[in-house]
Structure 1
Amino acid sequence: MEETQSKNKYRALFLKPWEKGNKNIVRDFVYGCWCNGKRIGGMQMPPINEIYCATHARSEVVDAVFIDAQTSWDRFEEIESSGYASIDCLILMCSTQSFRSDLRILEKAKSLKPAIKTVLFGSHPTFMPEYALAGAVDFLVRKEPEETIRVLLDALARNEDTSRINGTGYRDKDGKVVLNANREFCDMDVLPIPDRTLLPENADYFNPVVHRLPYTTIQTSRGCPGRCIFCTSPEFYGKKYRARSAENVLKELREIKKLGYREVFFRDETFTALKKRNAEICQAMINEKLNLSWIANGRVDMIDKEMMALMKKAGCHMLKFGVETSSDELLKTYRKGTTSEQARACFKAARELGIETHAHLVFGGPGESWNTINTTIKFVKEIKPSTASFGILTPYPGTELFAMVASMNPSIQDGSDSNMDNLHTEGFYSKEVSGMTGDELSLAVKRAYRKFYLRPSYVLGKLLRIRSFEQLVILVISGLNILSFSISGKK
Structure 2
Amino acid sequence: MRIILVHPAGSNWMPGKKDISATANRMAPLGLLSIAAYLAREGHEVFVQDCLGPRAVPGAGANAARILEMAPDLVGVSATTSGFLDGYDLAVRIRAASPRTRIVFGGVHVSALGAALLEQFPDIDFLCMGEGELTLAELAAGQPPEKITGLIWRDGGGVVVNPPREAIPDMDSLPFPAYEKLAGFPRGYNLPLFSYIDTPGATMTTSRGCPYQCSYCDRSVFKRGYRWNSAGYVYDHMQYLRDRFGVRHITVYDDLFTARRDRIARLCDLLTQKPLGVRFNCAVRVGHADDDLLRMLRDAGALQLSVGIETGDHDLMRTHKPGVDVEDARDTVRRIQAAGLRVKGLFMMGLPGETAASIRRTSDFVLSLGLDDMNMSKFTPFPGAPVWPTIHQEGAFDPDWRQMNCLNFVFVPNGIDSKETLDQLYNTHVKRFYSDPAWRKRFRGRIWEHRRSIAYALKHLPAFLSAKKSFEPAEKRT
Answer yes or no: is 1:172 the counterpart of 2:164: no
1:57-456 alignment to 2 at 5 Å? 57-59=39-41, 62-70=44-52, 71-74=54-57, 77=62, 80=65, 83-133=68-118, 134-155=121-142, 160-174=143-157, 176-187=158-169, 188-202=171-185, 203-207=187-191, 208=193, 209-233=195-219, 235-259=220-244, 260-405=246-391, 417-420=400-403, 423-431=405-413, 437-456=418-437
SS at 2:167's partner residue?
A: coil
1:33-52 alignment to 2 at 5 Å? 42-52=24-34
- Classify 1:416/1:178 alpha carbon distance in 2 versus 1 (closer, same or farther; 3 Å): farther
Percent of aligned positions with the same letter in both sequences?
22
- CA shift for structure 1 position 438: 2.5
**Match of residue 7 from structure 2:** 16
Q: What is the count of residue pairs matched by the alignment?
A: 458
- Classify 1:101/1:78 alpha carbon distance in 2 versus 1 (closer, same or farther; 3 Å): closer
Q: For residue 75 of structure 2, what is the amino acid of its counterpart?
A: L
Hey, what's the Cα distance between the residues in 1 that align with 2:203 and 2:57?
A: 24
Hey, what's the Cα distance between the residues in 1 that align with 2:291 and 2:206?
A: 22
**Match of residue 3 from structure 1:** none
**Match of residue 27 from structure 1:** none
SS at 2:305's partner residue?
A: strand
- Classify 1:201/1:482 alpha carbon distance in 2 versus 1 (closer, same or farther; 3 Å): closer
Hey, what's the Cα distance between the residues in 2 that align with 1:400 and 1:186?
A: 24
- Classify 1:337/1:429 alpha carbon distance in 2 versus 1 (closer, same or farther; 3 Å): same
Deviation sequence 1:142-188 (CA, Å, 0-9, x none): 11111111111111xxxx522331001122211x2211110000021
Answer yes or no: is 1:56 the counterpart of 2:38: yes
Hey, what's the Cα distance between the residues in 2 that align with 1:60 and 1:399?
A: 34
- CA shift for structure 1 position 424: 2.9
Q: For residue 180 of structure 2, what is the amino acid of its counterpart?
A: T
8 Å CA contact 1:368–1:436 kept in 2: the answer is no
- Classify 1:466/1:196 alpha carbon distance in 2 versus 1 (closer, same or farther; 3 Å): same
Hey, what's the Cα distance between the residues in 1 that align with 2:421 and 2:447?
A: 36
**TM-score, reference length from structure 1:** 0.86
- Classify 1:193/1:289 alpha carbon distance in 2 versus 1 (closer, same or farther; 3 Å): same
Moved more, 111-120 or 77-86: 77-86
Deviation sequence 1:110-163 (CA, Å, 0-9, x none): 1221211111111111111234221111111011111111111111xxxx5223
8 Å CA contact 1:94–1:102 kept in 2: the answer is yes
Segments of 5+ residues of structure 2 without an aligned counterpart are: none
Hey, what's the Cα distance between the residues in 2 that align with 1:40 and 1:337?
A: 34
Moved more, 111-120 or 203-212: 203-212
SS at 1:285's partner residue?
A: helix
**Over aligned residue pairs, what C-alpha RMSD do you find?**
2.8
Hey, what's the Cα distance between the residues in 1 that align with 2:293 and 2:40?
A: 39
**TM-score, reference length from structure 2:** 0.88
SS at 1:163's partner residue?
A: helix
